[in-house]
Chain A
């Protein structure tokens, strides 16, 4: 028989979750406790194990879709005929409204059974018109919300139990333009998650590592030609070949030529890293994250291309593991994709250098004494001056530039 799996409340009082990724497809055989899907709730990304054994009959929620708790997301045919007792399956999980922690669930339509017989209306003290203020009932978080929004609770019509005011009541009252408050319009975004982590990392980096940024404008016409020719090679079939790939290769090669730049400052010692773990700053829906490619110096160009594509895809999908986001040694930030020429990037904490790669555009350029139209970009290298002196920083940037002006140098130096 077909058995439905309803999205459970995996936290305490969560009402919905987003389907991140299905691990099974229709027709697959699943076992009890086999991971079938990853979901993201307000609290965490979690994997859900199958409660049933059998064949997947239907998948009823798409990746990326936000689903209410209690909705059937998958049906499994367990190949049995007899009707199983319904009590084994939580009948209506949406009825559960556990509130061990937090504000509790949103007030939905009441699912209570109706009271028997219309009981005689209880004597409710009716105000005879005089503006008598009675004590308003509202939980402390609701009161705070009202205060924050400038809503007077006395003006709010209660809809909660025992005439109490709910969050929704306050929000509704706020929308009603009873008294146009003269406040500056602004959207309040709580600082948390990736934004909070980014802020902490940036402050820590900017105020501990003395940054220096150097700029170099270069002619990347040959790099663009190389990119075009690489795309035609069968080794690169199915992977993205972009100028970023050659910038990455050039930076990794420069790090190998100048190992002192591939290092971390501690108060006791400078740690020179043997591996070049190449970080790629990625703008994702969740915010800025910097996953890195481990041992990038050991990868061939097609391998590096594949690693880059894979890493950026997974970063955008929010799938990078904490291990991938720690232990980087140097980073590239591709600001060119935003149409920007140059910037002064801030170091990823724990690293000593970061390269900003600006946009590539046609520019007048002098070649062999003649004015020509060439593909030109600007590189900006920020480095930690505690570890890297101007001389070393300049060598690194000069070498990266030289390799991108003449990609054959990558062969020479790699």
Chain B
């Protein structure tokens, strides 16, 4: 079995070898500083992910969904957002969270089971992680319709995977977005595997082509090319903000790791496939590009590496120091306002807990 070959219509601006290529519809003019900053984000995000996987293996997190291999899709699209845009993630969008200024510690808190996310979605315009597959597409479309009614200069972007395209929610979201011309970008990271189900069991046609049936454009972009992801998402968001409705962006990428830390991908996919995708690594090509065009020197790469190590180390220490919440804290997060029944239930629960020996 080989990886599905990408068709020619795939938008690519940077080849796996780090060569800059032109595209008639999507181009991008990045300064050296911007490219270095994209590289730094890619490296730091990967480091956060590696640290989290290690913490899970050490019993410090209950679970972790690794983004390994999908850094470019996330950083490219995340960096395309303006402050006013609203993002709706799955549970794997650690790179987008990073771009939205969410402290990775909050992501760890969720997977450590000490909070329900911990960040303020309004502050970062980054919604809480959604574990249910595909339901956030509906939230995103609803939010986009709200933007439309406010007449605001903003759009939403919603993240989901190839597997989610088989969900009813996602198809309903497509219909609503299309019919109401909602300012939303559907950003599908096609990482080829829905847990253990390969793409060919999800779709007979390339995913981006599904959009035409719903009446809006679909584009396939090299999901391991951060330039192309940035350019295509930027254009799709602008289009949405300008009132031209939704776009489906299919970022063609690969999940280099397991679905989550509870999964063993060697049981269902062949190593050759992984090896083939390693050659398309999203970080290596940016590094090659920087090197080739003398936009960065070894000192820069070493500095980023050192910064990544420090980030991993700090994150580890702060994760281990996260306090366990009080059991009664669960009453604080369900309702916006307190009310009598809630107070009564809290009282009952507190009394019950106090009934144990050794309780305060």
Contact = CB atoms under 8 A, between A and B. Distances in A.
Interface of A: 5-12, 32-33, 43-51, 87-88, 90, 93, 96, 98, 100-101, 112-116, 193, 321-323, 326-327
B58 A51 contact: yes
Contact of B272 (A90, A112, A326): A326
Contacts of A116: 355-357, 359
B263 interface: yes
A98 B264 contact: no
A87 B319 CA distance: 12
Interface string B319-360: 011000000000000000000000000000000000111110
A81 to B, nearest CB: 19
B59 A6 contact: yes
A124 B264 CA distance: 48
Contacts of A100: 62-63
Given A115-B356, A323-B271, A49 B54 contact: yes
A164 B357 CA distance: 25
Given A12-B63, A114-B356, A45 B57 contact: no
Contact of A46 (B57, B63, B357): B57
A49 B262 contact: no
A9 B62 CA distance: 8
Contacts of B269: 322
B60 A90 contact: yes
23 contacts: A8-B60, A10-B261, A11-B261, A32-B316, A44-B262, A44-B266, A44-B267, A48-B57, A49-B58, A51-B58, A88-B320, A90-B59, A112-B356, A113-B357, A113-B359, A115-B355, A115-B357, A116-B359, A193-B267, A322-B271, A323-B272, A326-B271, A326-B272
A44 B263 contact: yes
A206 B343 CA distance: 68
Contact of B58 (A5, A321, A327): A5
B56 interface: yes
A10 B56 contact: yes
B59 A321 contact: no
B275 interface: yes
A43 B271 CA distance: 19
B348 to A, nearest CB: 16
Contacts, number: 89
Contacts of B62: 9, 12, 96, 98, 100
Interface string B236-274: 000000000000000000000010011110110111100
Nearest to B356: A113
Q: Which secondary structure dominates chain B's binding surface?
A: loop
A55 to B, nearest CB: 18
Given A90-B59, A100-B63, A113-B357, A43 B270 contact: no
A44 B59 contact: no
B311 to A, nearest CB: 13
B321 A88 contact: yes
Interface of B: 50-51, 54, 56-60, 62-63, 113, 258, 261-264, 266-267, 269-272, 275, 312-313, 316, 320-321, 355-359
Contacts of B58: 5, 8, 48-51
Contact of B264 (A45, A90, A96, A115): A45
A47 B57 contact: yes
A193 B264 CA distance: 12
A50 B261 CA distance: 16
A112 B271 CA distance: 46
Nearest to A112: B356
A32 B54 CA distance: 9
A321 B271 contact: yes
Nearest to A44: B264
A327 B270 CA distance: 10
Contacts of A115: 355-357
Nearest to B58: A51
A50 B60 CA distance: 12
A8 B267 CA distance: 22
A49 B275 CA distance: 23
Nearest to A46: B57
Closest 7 CB pairs of A and B: A8-B59, A44-B264, A323-B271, A322-B271, A51-B58, A49-B54, A11-B262
B105 to A, nearest CB: 15
B354 to A, nearest CB: 9
A327 B272 contact: yes
B60 A322 contact: no
A6 B358 CA distance: 26
B111 to A, nearest CB: 11
A113 B59 contact: no
Contact of A43 (B263, B356, B357): B263
Contacts of B51: 33
A10 B258 CA distance: 13
A251 B60 CA distance: 52
Contacts of A98: 62, 113
Contacts of A8: 57-60
A45 B51 CA distance: 19
A326 B268 CA distance: 12
A116 to B, nearest CB: 5
A317 to B, nearest CB: 15
Contacts of B320: 88
Contacts of A321: 266, 271
Nearest to B358: A113
A51 to B, nearest CB: 4
A46 B50 CA distance: 14
Nearest to A193: B267
Nearest to B261: A10
Nearest to A119: B355
Contacts of A48: 57-58
A13 to B, nearest CB: 9
Nearest to A323: B271
B59 A43 contact: no
A94 to B, nearest CB: 11
Nearest to B56: A10
A9 B59 CA distance: 6
